[in-house]
Amino acid sequence: MDHHSQMKFIHLTDSHLVAPPQSLFEMNMGARLKGAIRSIIEHHRDASFCVVTGDLTHWGEVGAFELFRNTMNELPIPWHAIPGNHDLRSVFSMILPDTPVTQNGFIQYGLDTPQGRFVFLDTVDEGKSSGFLCSDRLGWLKSELEYAEKSETDVYLFMHHAPMPIGINGVDRIRLTNGDEFSDLVSRFKNIRHLFFGHVHRPCHGVWRGLPFSTVKATAHQIAFTLDPDDPLISSREDPAYAVVLIDQDGVIIHDYSYFDEDKAFIYERGAPEGSGEKPAHQKDWD
């Protein structure tokens, strides 16, 4: 395993596609995902692969999954997906048959990379918007973690639902319902470097019980930022984003990239205060 060279991958989530010609919340979700793909091709085609952490579709229809598959297949790099609560496992596996499934029918699998083992989890609790990891799925995760520990391999975890409350009531009510059980398992392993998830439709990063985590804006609609404990789930028409992740032996660096803002860049010239024509003394020697 070559820890010395940096690996780049893309974290993209929650495309919420609907079967054409429908739109959703007066937004063209297909165009928003296509915009992300165009941006990745233009700026990050050197990434090793792309990971999509669930809610690929909004209603789970065949046409929406086909649109997702066809759009993602425009990428010149591999991509890997897991389901979210809006998706249906049966349709997911029918349209994306190359995605591995466990013997019990869960869409969970591992991927070996130059920086360690990427472990993809299926948190879907069909019929509910919250997530759940049953004993089957936790048992599968445990054996993955034990194998990686024995092989002295770093692990990166991917799932749809947040396992912890993040302070936004509308999201916290539909998080992973057995986050404590998940935490009890993963806290026994010292080789887990990061947890990536979707579902939140907001940028949110931090450390939970010693486990570094991150999520990124959806390519679809966002969830409004409100920390009022009584607020329901409130959506927002904020622009979408994806994350560019850089991993090496020293760390995990995550850049959230608002790809609809690409035309807003400008050359930075500090200038000088109006009327003086001179930079302040403490800035004169700056490059």
Alpha-helical segments (H) within the chain: 29-43, 62-72, 89-95, 135-150, 169-172, 179-186
Q: Tokens 């069909």 identify what position?
A: 126
* pLDDT category of residue 287 using cuts at 50, 70 and 90: confident
pLDDT in tens, 122-156: 999 999 999 999 999 999 999 999 999 999 999 99
Measured CA to CA, the distance from residue 237 to residue 86 in angstroms comes to 19
Measured CA to CA, the distance from residue 104 to residue 122 in angstroms comes to 12
Burial 104-134 (b: 16+ CB within 10 A, else e): eebbbbbbebebbbbbbbbbbbeeeebbbbe
- 38's CB contacts (< 8 A; 6+ apart) are none
Measured CA to CA, the distance from residue 129 to residue 171 in angstroms comes to 10
What residue type is assigned to position 161 of the chain?
H
Per-residue pLDDT at 13: 98
Q: Which domains does the chain have, with CATH numbers?
A: 7-283 (3.60.21.10)
Measured CA to CA, the distance from residue 276 to residue 171 in angstroms comes to 51
What's the residue count for the chain?
Answer: 287
Percent of the chain residues past pLDDT 70, beyond the cut: 99
pLDDT in tens, 77-123: 999 999 999 999 999 999 999 999 999 999 999 999 999 999 999 99
* pLDDT category of residue 270 using cuts at 50, 70 and 90: confident
Average pLDDT of span 62-66:
98
Helices and strands (H, E) in the chain, number of each type? 6, 13
Token pair in block for residue 147: 């194998």
* pLDDT category of residue 271 using cuts at 50, 70 and 90: confident
Measured CA to CA, the distance from residue 39 to residue 263 in angstroms comes to 12
Query: Is the predicted pLDDT of residue 3 greater than 90, yes or no?
Result: no
